[in-house]
Amino acid sequence: MATYMNAWTSNRYTMYPFSTQNAKDYQNLMAVYLDAVFFPRLDKYDFFQEGWRLEHEDPEDLTTPLKFKGVVFNEMKGDMSSTEKIYYAKYLQALFGNCADGYYSGGEPLEIVKKLTWKRLLEYHKSFYHPTNSRFFTYGDLPLESHLQYIDDNILSNFSYHPIVVERNEKCWTASREIRMDCPFDPNLPEDRQIRASLNWPLPKVSSVYGHFSRRVVSDLLLLGSSSPLYQALIKTHIGTSFSPLIGYNPGPTVPVFSIGLQGLKEEALEEMQIRIKETLTKCLTDQNLQANYGGLLHSYELERRQEVASFGLKLAANLMEFWCKGYNMSELLDTRGHLRRVREELANN
């Protein structure tokens, strides 16, 4: 009866979401998920199957060559076979280096076979898969009390509070620099337009949810839709075929980032792209027509918030988790209407 079951891996957390419209099925899925997350057997042979192992090409013939096998290993190997994903992984490393944000969250296939062992998996689970280090999120019309009672009886009562301290020596970039990366040929782009490039700015940290929200508004206004200034300046003029992955405002990393990038570029268009971006941003500071577009953008946020679709709860969980893990106030995170009202007030006061 499940309508959704999965695991979402981020650089700083992993979510185990499930959903169903049947009350009994919800209880059953919750029981299985909580048990699997907090009390897994993590058997050695399960690790060989789910993680990685060496196996003969023909298991019945020991003279055949050895191959790397494993569910997660093959999943990540397939995931990292696309040029876009390789660009994404190298982009993170270039921007954030040894910060947690600099690593591809699913795992690099070569690093998996070099560093991941069954014992390291056990140690990792023992260290981090603890209720003190977790968040529980439920959404829907089923009575909340029964969920909380089950979680307390079967999970929380089996543990004591245990603060988890992670020592991090994270140094993100502070000075301007240029980085070039090599990626495989992309058959989805024209042969003479294989370049992807982006300009990226580290932004000051903000302590309020509204600070992030207002930045998102400005970012969307600049980039969202075919009438946006940067689309008109960069795509409409055929400097690039489309925007590259990871554009706009990203509040997730330790240092928030604003990025503008293109794919389908010719080598000789790189300098023109940078000039156009800087010219467009400068022009936008005083563009009265652009400011008039705020109304339509804010209205689209309201519609998005009120649209009751089956995946609303899952989307809400995904949007909240990044900030919730960093200690932001949950009621402030949910107050979209208040943020919209404040944006309108600030616009009215110029």
Q: What is the DSSP string of 143-169?
A: -HHHHHHHHHHHTGGG-----------
CATH 3.30.830.10 applies to domain 2-158:
yes
Predicted confidence (pLDDT) at residue 73 exceeds the cutoff of 90? yes
Q: Where is average pLDDT lowest: 48-57, 223-232, 302-311?
A: 302-311
Q: Which CATH architecture has domain 191-350?
A: 2-Layer Sandwich (3.30)
Amino acid at 200: N
pLDDT of residue 156: 95
Fill in the DSSP letter of residue 325: T
**Section 10-24 average pLDDT:** 90
Amino acid at 139: Y
Q: Where is average pLDDT lowest: 23-32, 240-249, 307-316?
A: 307-316
pLDDT of residue 146: 92
pLDDT of residue 169: 65
Amino acid at 194: Q
Rounded-to-integer distance, Cα 327 and Cα 329, Å: 6
pLDDT of residue 271: 92
- What is the model's pTM? 0.82
pLDDT of residue 40: 94
pLDDT of residue 170: 66
pLDDT in tens, 24-46: 999 999 999 999 999 999 999 99
pLDDT of residue 223: 92
Predicted confidence (pLDDT) at residue 2 exceeds the cutoff of 80? no
Question: What are the DSSP E strand ranges found in the chain?
Answer: 2-5, 8-9, 14-15, 18-20, 53-56, 66-69, 195-202, 242-243, 248-250, 257-265
**Section 286-292 average pLDDT:** 76
pLDDT in tens, 130-178: 999 999 999 988 999 999 999 999 999 999 998 887 766 667 677 778 8
Other beta carbons less than 10 A from residue 232's beta carbon: 13
**Section 115-137 average pLDDT:** 93
List every span in the chain annotated with CATH 3.30.830.10.
2-158, 191-350
pLDDT of residue 330: 87
What DSSP string runs through 9-57? E-SS-EE--EEES-HHHHHHHHHHHHHHHHS----HHHHHHHT-EEEES
pLDDT in tens, 185-205: 888 888 888 889 999 998 988
